Amino acid sequence: MKQIEDRALRIASDAFLREPIPEHWNEMSEEEREDWVDSNRSEVYEGEAVGDVFNAMTDHAMVIAQAMYRLVGDIKDALIDAGADDRLPLELHDLDVNSLLVNR
């Protein structure tokens, strides 16, 4: 599920960069990515090596992605349980996912 990793990287990059990573990030070479990070890193990381900032950002993204995968799995399980117990609303927009997760 590459979309989760991509989204997690975008979220993680907010903590390290002044600008969101570009849409064509996945098509960029590693050298282009590092150059881009060097040009757009937050002032907090100005004294850090570019590779360290890049690695910290991708490590942070992996943690976020793991949390997202866990949450998606929990939501799926909660929906299955709620469906089996006939607790799902008739209209999808009435679905309160948070209460499904809290009340498991």
pLDDT tens digits for range 24-55: 999 999 999 999 999 999 999 999 999 999 99
Could you tell me the pTM of the whole model? 0.81
SS3 state of residue 86? coil
> Contact 18/86 with Cβ under 8 angstroms?
no
Q: How confident is the model at residue 104 (pLDDT cuts 50, 70, 90)?
A: low
What's the pLDDT at 70? 94
> Contact 12/60 with Cβ under 8 angstroms?
yes
Eight-state DSSP code of residue 29: -
* Kind plus residue range of the DSSP H or E element containing 49: none
pLDDT tens digits for range 57-98: 999 999 999 999 999 999 999 998 888 888 888 887 888 888
What's the pLDDT at 73? 94
Domain-wise residue ranges, the chain: 2-102
